[in-house]
Amino acid sequence: MCGIVGAVARDNVVPVLLEGLLRLEYRGYDSAGLVVSNNSLHRLRTTGRVAELIKLVGEQNAEGLAGIAHTRWATHGAPSERNAHPHISGTESQIAVVHNGIIENHEAMRKRLQADGYVFVSDTDTEVIAHLVDYHLKQTADLFKAVCLSIAELQGAYAIGVMEEVRPDRIVVARNGAPLLLGLGDDGNYAASDASVKPGKS
Ligand code: GLU
Protein backbone atom coordinates (compact mmCIF):
# COMPACT_ATOMS: atom_id res chain seq x y z
CA MET A 1 0.00 0.00 0.00
CA CYS A 2 1.49 3.28 -1.02
CA GLY A 3 0.54 6.87 -0.45
CA ILE A 4 -0.52 10.03 -2.22
CA VAL A 5 -0.32 13.63 -1.05
CA GLY A 6 -1.55 16.54 -3.14
CA ALA A 7 -1.76 20.24 -2.36
CA VAL A 8 -2.73 23.57 -3.90
CA ALA A 9 -1.98 26.52 -1.64
CA ARG A 10 -1.04 30.19 -1.38
CA ASP A 11 2.53 29.29 -0.42
CA ASN A 12 5.08 26.75 -1.62
CA VAL A 13 3.51 23.30 -1.10
CA VAL A 14 6.74 21.28 -1.13
CA PRO A 15 7.14 21.20 2.69
CA VAL A 16 3.55 19.94 3.05
CA LEU A 17 4.06 17.28 0.37
CA LEU A 18 7.26 16.01 1.99
CA GLU A 19 5.87 16.06 5.52
CA GLY A 20 2.85 14.18 4.18
CA LEU A 21 5.00 11.51 2.57
CA LEU A 22 6.98 11.10 5.80
CA ARG A 23 3.74 10.50 7.67
CA LEU A 24 2.69 7.89 5.10
CA GLU A 25 5.99 5.99 5.32
CA TYR A 26 4.54 3.50 7.81
CA ARG A 27 2.37 2.11 4.98
CA GLY A 28 5.48 0.80 3.23
CA TYR A 29 6.96 1.75 -0.17
CA ASP A 30 9.80 1.04 -2.57
CA SER A 31 10.24 4.43 -4.24
CA ALA A 32 9.05 8.00 -3.93
CA GLY A 33 8.50 11.00 -6.13
CA LEU A 34 6.75 14.28 -6.62
CA VAL A 35 5.94 16.87 -9.19
CA VAL A 36 5.42 20.55 -8.50
CA SER A 37 4.21 23.14 -10.91
CA ASN A 38 5.54 26.61 -11.37
CA ASN A 39 4.46 27.18 -14.97
CA SER A 40 6.39 24.05 -15.89
CA LEU A 41 6.35 20.63 -14.24
CA HIS A 42 9.35 19.79 -12.08
CA ARG A 43 9.54 16.05 -11.35
CA LEU A 44 11.82 14.33 -8.85
CA ARG A 45 11.91 10.57 -8.26
CA THR A 46 14.05 8.19 -6.23
CA THR A 47 14.22 4.53 -5.27
CA GLY A 48 15.51 5.69 -1.92
CA ARG A 49 13.60 6.75 1.15
CA VAL A 50 11.59 9.98 1.45
CA ALA A 51 14.73 11.42 3.10
CA GLU A 52 16.47 11.02 -0.27
CA LEU A 53 13.63 12.87 -2.00
CA ILE A 54 13.97 15.66 0.56
CA LYS A 55 17.67 15.88 -0.32
CA LEU A 56 16.88 16.09 -4.06
CA VAL A 57 14.30 18.82 -3.45
CA GLY A 58 16.92 20.83 -1.58
CA GLU A 59 19.56 20.34 -4.26
CA GLN A 60 17.22 21.33 -7.08
CA ASN A 61 15.25 24.06 -5.26
CA ALA A 62 11.94 22.50 -6.28
CA GLU A 63 8.98 24.63 -5.29
CA GLY A 64 5.53 25.50 -6.47
CA LEU A 65 2.04 26.46 -5.40
CA ALA A 66 0.64 23.08 -6.41
CA GLY A 67 2.02 19.58 -6.38
CA ILE A 68 1.37 15.86 -6.14
CA ALA A 69 3.62 13.40 -4.30
CA HIS A 70 3.73 9.63 -4.05
CA THR A 71 5.23 6.65 -2.32
CA ARG A 72 5.03 3.54 -4.50
CA TRP A 73 4.43 -0.09 -3.67
CA ALA A 74 5.16 -1.71 -7.03
CA THR A 75 2.48 -3.98 -8.49
CA HIS A 76 3.30 -3.62 -12.21
CA GLY A 77 6.95 -3.10 -13.06
CA ALA A 78 9.98 -3.47 -10.83
CA PRO A 79 10.86 -0.88 -8.19
CA SER A 80 13.03 1.54 -10.18
CA GLU A 81 13.28 5.25 -10.87
CA ARG A 82 11.80 4.70 -14.34
CA ASN A 83 8.70 3.09 -12.81
CA ALA A 84 8.40 5.50 -9.90
CA HIS A 85 5.56 8.02 -9.93
CA PRO A 86 4.65 10.65 -11.04
CA HIS A 87 4.24 9.52 -14.64
CA ILE A 88 4.15 12.15 -17.35
CA SER A 89 2.43 12.41 -20.71
CA GLY A 90 1.89 15.14 -23.26
CA THR A 91 3.76 16.60 -26.14
CA GLU A 92 3.04 20.32 -26.38
CA SER A 93 2.04 20.58 -22.74
CA GLN A 94 2.68 18.01 -20.03
CA ILE A 95 0.46 16.36 -17.47
CA ALA A 96 1.58 14.30 -14.47
CA VAL A 97 -0.18 11.48 -12.62
CA VAL A 98 0.30 9.70 -9.29
CA HIS A 99 -1.68 6.55 -8.64
CA ASN A 100 -2.39 4.19 -5.79
CA GLY A 101 -3.94 0.86 -6.75
CA ILE A 102 -4.19 -1.36 -9.80
CA ILE A 103 -5.69 -0.74 -13.26
CA GLU A 104 -7.07 -4.13 -14.26
CA ASN A 105 -7.58 -3.34 -17.94
CA HIS A 106 -4.15 -1.73 -18.41
CA GLU A 107 -3.01 -4.16 -21.12
CA ALA A 108 -5.93 -3.44 -23.45
CA MET A 109 -5.64 0.30 -22.77
CA ARG A 110 -1.88 0.20 -23.41
CA LYS A 111 -2.42 -1.42 -26.82
CA ARG A 112 -5.06 1.12 -27.75
CA LEU A 113 -2.92 4.07 -26.70
CA GLN A 114 0.13 2.66 -28.49
CA ALA A 115 -2.00 2.42 -31.63
CA ASP A 116 -2.77 6.12 -31.11
CA GLY A 117 0.96 6.83 -31.10
CA TYR A 118 1.72 6.98 -27.38
CA VAL A 119 5.16 5.69 -26.40
CA PHE A 120 5.42 4.03 -23.00
CA VAL A 121 8.59 4.56 -20.99
CA SER A 122 7.67 2.52 -17.90
CA ASP A 123 6.31 -0.93 -17.13
CA THR A 124 3.54 0.36 -14.90
CA ASP A 125 -0.22 0.18 -15.25
CA THR A 126 -0.20 3.81 -14.10
CA GLU A 127 1.37 5.17 -17.27
CA VAL A 128 -1.82 4.15 -19.08
CA ILE A 129 -3.69 6.72 -16.97
CA ALA A 130 -1.25 9.48 -17.89
CA HIS A 131 -1.57 8.88 -21.63
CA LEU A 132 -5.33 8.36 -21.44
CA VAL A 133 -5.81 11.68 -19.64
CA ASP A 134 -3.58 13.36 -22.23
CA TYR A 135 -5.65 11.76 -25.02
CA HIS A 136 -8.89 13.14 -23.57
CA LEU A 137 -7.30 16.48 -22.73
CA LYS A 138 -6.54 16.98 -26.41
CA GLN A 139 -10.26 16.54 -27.17
CA THR A 140 -11.74 18.52 -24.28
CA ALA A 141 -9.02 21.05 -23.35
CA ASP A 142 -10.21 20.70 -19.74
CA LEU A 143 -8.33 18.59 -17.19
CA PHE A 144 -11.35 17.85 -15.01
CA LYS A 145 -13.38 16.63 -18.00
CA ALA A 146 -10.39 14.67 -19.29
CA VAL A 147 -9.99 12.88 -15.94
CA CYS A 148 -13.75 12.12 -15.80
CA LEU A 149 -13.65 10.63 -19.32
CA SER A 150 -10.52 8.65 -18.43
CA ILE A 151 -11.79 7.08 -15.23
CA ALA A 152 -14.95 6.02 -17.07
CA GLU A 153 -12.65 3.76 -19.11
CA LEU A 154 -10.55 2.43 -16.25
CA GLN A 155 -11.31 -0.80 -14.40
CA GLY A 156 -9.82 -1.53 -11.01
CA ALA A 157 -9.19 0.14 -7.71
CA TYR A 158 -7.43 3.48 -7.73
CA ALA A 159 -6.78 6.81 -6.13
CA ILE A 160 -5.17 9.29 -8.49
CA GLY A 161 -3.85 12.82 -8.51
CA VAL A 162 -3.36 14.68 -11.80
CA MET A 163 -1.94 18.07 -12.67
CA GLU A 164 -1.04 19.91 -15.84
CA GLU A 165 1.69 22.28 -16.83
CA VAL A 166 -0.60 24.97 -18.20
CA ARG A 167 -2.78 25.19 -15.07
CA PRO A 168 -0.28 25.37 -12.19
CA ASP A 169 -3.08 26.39 -9.82
CA ARG A 170 -5.02 23.17 -9.67
CA ILE A 171 -4.88 19.44 -9.22
CA VAL A 172 -7.62 16.94 -10.05
CA VAL A 173 -8.10 13.85 -7.89
CA ALA A 174 -10.31 10.79 -8.18
CA ARG A 175 -10.80 7.55 -6.32
CA ASN A 176 -12.52 4.21 -6.69
CA GLY A 177 -12.05 1.56 -4.02
CA ALA A 178 -8.85 3.13 -2.68
CA PRO A 179 -8.70 5.82 0.00
CA LEU A 180 -8.20 9.50 -0.74
CA LEU A 181 -9.24 12.19 1.71
CA LEU A 182 -9.72 15.89 0.96
CA GLY A 183 -9.00 18.81 3.26
CA LEU A 184 -10.33 22.21 2.22
CA GLY A 185 -8.89 25.28 3.93
CA ASP A 186 -8.48 29.04 3.58
CA ASP A 187 -4.76 28.72 2.92
CA GLY A 188 -5.04 25.77 0.55
CA ASN A 189 -6.72 22.52 -0.42
CA TYR A 190 -5.17 19.14 0.26
CA ALA A 191 -5.59 15.48 -0.66
CA ALA A 192 -4.03 12.50 1.06
CA SER A 193 -4.29 8.75 1.36
CA ASP A 194 -5.04 8.85 5.04
CA ALA A 195 -5.86 11.14 7.88
CA SER A 196 -2.40 11.07 9.43
CA VAL A 197 -1.34 13.60 6.80
CA LYS A 198 -2.24 16.92 8.35
CA PRO A 199 -0.88 20.11 6.85
CA GLY A 200 0.73 22.57 9.21
CA LYS A 201 2.25 21.90 12.62
CA SER A 202 1.93 18.48 14.26
N1 GLU B 1 0.10 -0.15 -9.75
C2 GLU B 1 0.92 1.02 -9.64
C3 GLU B 1 2.39 0.69 -9.86
O4 GLU B 1 2.78 -0.45 -9.83
C5 GLU B 1 0.71 1.74 -8.32
C6 GLU B 1 1.20 0.92 -7.15
C7 GLU B 1 0.94 1.64 -5.83
O8 GLU B 1 -0.22 1.60 -5.36
O9 GLU B 1 1.90 2.21 -5.32
O10 GLU B 1 3.15 1.62 -10.07
Q: By C-alpha distance, which of 140, 183, 185 is closest to 5?
A: 183
Q: How far is the first Cα of the chain from the last one, in angstroms, to the nearest whole number?
A: 23
Q: Which of 24, 45, 68, 73 to mutate to test the pocket of ligand 1 (most atoms within 8 A of CB)?
A: 73
Instruction: Name residues contacting ligand 1 (CB within 6 A).
Output: 2, 72-77, 99-102, 124-126
Asked if 129 contacts 119 with a C-beta cutoff of 8 angstroms, the reply is no
- Report, in angstroms and rounded to the nearest whole number, the Rg of the chain calculated over CA atoms: 15
Q: Please give the share of the chain, as a percent, with pLDDT higher than 90.
A: 90
**Ligand 1 atom with the shortest distance to the CA of 102:** 1
Give me the pLDDT at residue 165, please.
Answer: 94
pLDDT category at 198 given cuts 50, 70, 90 is low
pLDDT average, residue stretch 128-154: 97
Q: By C-alpha distance, which of 166, 167, 173 is closest to 190?
A: 173
Q: Which of 45, 70, 109, 124 to mutate to test the pocket of ligand 1 (most atoms within 8 A of CB)?
A: 124
Averaged confidence pLDDT in the chain: 94
pLDDT average, residue stretch 133-145: 96
Q: By C-alpha distance, which of 51, 54, 57, 66 is closest to 13?
A: 66
- Integer Cα distance of 173 and 120 in angstroms: 23
**Ligand 1 atom with the shortest distance to the CA of 77:** 4
pLDDT average, residue stretch 189-202: 73
pTM comes to 0.95
Give me the pLDDT at residue 202, please.
Answer: 41
> At residue 87, does pLDDT exceed 80?
yes
Q: How far is the CA of 154 from the centre of ligand 1 (A)?
A: 15
Asked if 191 contacts 161 with a C-beta cutoff of 8 angstroms, the reply is yes
Give me the pLDDT at residue 197, please.
Answer: 61
pLDDT average, residue stretch 1-19: 94
pLDDT average, residue stretch 28-54: 95
Where b means 16+ CB within 10 Å and e means fewer, 38-50 reads: eeebbbbbbbebb
